[in-house]
Amino acid sequence: MRSVSALWRTIGMVVTVAFMSACRASEFEYVSWKMESAGPIYGKTPQCVGIPEDLRLCHGVGYTTMLLPNLLEHETMAEVKQQASSWVPLVHKRCHTSTQIFLCSLFAPVCLDRPIYPCRKLCEAVRDGCTPIMEAFGYPWPEMLTCDKFPEHDVCIAMTPNITETVETTGSSAICPPCDNEMKTDTMLEHMCASEFAIKAKIKEVKRENTDRKVILQKKKKLIKQGNLKKKDLKKLVLFLKNGADCPCQQLDNIANQYLIMFRKVDKQYLLTGIHKWDKSNMEFKKAMKTLKTHQCPEFTNVFK
C-alpha cells in the first residue's frame, strides 16, 4: 500500500463523524486531506453514491453516501451487497463494539476528499474480539482483512479515546455462539446459512475433549438440510462444539429434548454451528422453518477464504 502521507498533505481540519450502530452511537476521527497530485488511486474513478437500504451491513451506520469503488476494490454496488451480506451475522453477535464501523469503513467508505483506511489497531481490536466467534463456526479471519496491510502511523480511522474497545456485557455474551438459543427467526436463519447441514435429532451424550465438546447423537435423525452428507456419514455422525468446553450451552445440558441441529464440515470434523429446541408451538420457530424453503443465504465461501 502506498503511503498516504506521501500523496497528501493535511489542511489541519479534523472531521468527527458520528456512526449509529444497532445499539449505540460511536464517534470516530477522520482527517480531511488535500491532494498534492491529481488522479484516482483506483482503476476506476471513485464516485459518491447513496448507501441503499438493502446494504444491510452499513445502511443506517451514521452517514448516507459512500465511495464506489470501495476500499476492497468492489466496483459495483451488486458486488458490495453480495460480499457485505456475509458479515451481517457477525455484527449481530456483538463480538466488538467497533465491528460495524470497521467493516463499513472498507465496504462503504465515507465520502471525503480521499479515502481513509481503518487503523491497524482498530483492525486488530475487532479481529481479536471476533475471531473466537468466527472460529466457533469454522471460519478463519479472512486474508483480505489481514491487519498488517492497514496503516499504523499514517492518517487512518481510529476510535476516539472515549470509546471503549471492550464488548458490552449482554445476556448472551458468555454463551457459546452456536448455542444462542433465542427463538428468533433471524437468528435461526443466520445459523442455518452458516451451516452446510441440518438435522432433527436428540442428543445421546456430551463429552469434553480437550478445549472442545464432543456431541454424540441418538441413532434416529431426520435430515432437514442434506448438502452432500451421505447416509453412511449420518449414521456415525459426531459433532464438536469448537472451543466450547467451558462456555455455557443450555441445549447440551438438557439432552431430553429434540433439537434442530446445524453443522458444517471443517477439515475432518463436523462443527456444531447452531442448535435450537424443536418447538412447533413457537411462532418464531415455525416462521423460520417455513422461510427456509425460499431464504437466500449470503455466499460465505466467497469472503471467508
Kindly report, residue by residue over 73-108, the tens digit of the pLDDT: 999 999 999 899 889 888 888 899 999 999 999 999
The CATH number for 116's domain is: 1.10.2000.10
Which has the higher per-residue pLDDT, 28 or 204?
204
Task: Looking at the structure, tell me whether residues 8 and 144 fall in a common domain.
Answer: yes
The pTM assigned to this predicted structure is: 0.71
Q: Which of 114, 100, 108 is nearest to 8 (CA)?
A: 114
Dihedral angle sign, alpha carbons of residues 33, 39, 41, 42: positive
Question: Are residues 58 and 205 part of one domain?
Answer: no
From the CB of residue 30, how many other CB atoms can be counted at a distance below 10 Å?
Answer: 18
The pLDDT of residue 144 is above 60 = yes
Q: What's the average model confidence in pLDDT over 27-39?
A: 34
- pLDDT computed for residue 4 by the predictor: 29
One-letter amino acid for residue 185 of the chain: T
Say if 66 falls within a structural domain.
yes
CB atoms within 10 A of CB 117: 20
The answer to whether residue 170 is domain-embedded is: no
Are both 288 and 260 inside the same structural domain?
A: yes
Domain span including residue 105: 4-159
CATH assignment at residue 196: 2.40.50.120
The band of 194, judged by pLDDT with boundaries at 50, 70 and 90, is confident
Look at 55 and 294; give whichever has higher pLDDT: 55
Q: Compute, in degrees rounded to 10, the torsion defined by CA atoms 245, 92, 285, 136.
A: -30
Q: Which residue has the higher pLDDT, 181 or 92?
A: 92
Q: For residue 56, what is its C-alpha cell? A: 444491510
Higher model confidence: residue 18 or residue 197?
197
Is 304 within a domain?
no
SS3 173: coil
Beta strands 212-225; 197-209: pairing state: antiparallel
Residue 98 lies in a domain: yes
Give a yes or no: residue 166 inside a domain: no
The answer, yes or no, to whether residue 305 has pLDDT greater than 80, is no
Domain limit, last residue, from 159, 194, 216: 159
Residue 276 lies in a domain: yes
Write down which residue in 103, 130, 159 finishes a domain. Answer: 159
Q: Answer yes or no: do 183 and 287 share one domain.
A: yes
* pLDDT at res. 296: 80
Q: For position 260, what pLDDT does the model report? A: 95
Could you tell me if 9 and 58 lie in one domain? yes
How many domains is the chain partitioned into structurally?
A: 2
Does residue 104 sit in the same domain as residue 137?
yes
169 in any annotated domain: no
More confident residue, 121 or 166: 121
The pLDDT score that the predictor gives to residue 31 is 35
Shared domain check, 14 and 141: yes
- Shared domain check, 14 and 134: yes
How many whole angstroms separate alpha carbon 224 and alpha carbon 172?
26
Stretch 3-13: mean pLDDT:
26
Q: What is the pLDDT of residues 256-303, one digit of tens each?
A: 899 999 999 998 899 999 999 999 999 999 999 998 888 888 765 555
What confidence score (pLDDT) does residue 303 get? Answer: 54
CA distance 56 to 79: 13
Cα(188)–Cα(274) distance, integer angstroms: 8
Residues 34 and 79 in one domain: yes
- Residue 17 scores a pLDDT above 90: no
Same-domain pairing of 154 and 187: no
Using the 3D structure, point to which of 128, 159, 190 is the last residue of a domain: 159
Give domain status of residue 305, yes or no: no
Q: What is the per-residue pLDDT for 2?
A: 32
192 and 56 share one domain: no
Same domain? For 212 and 137 the reply is no
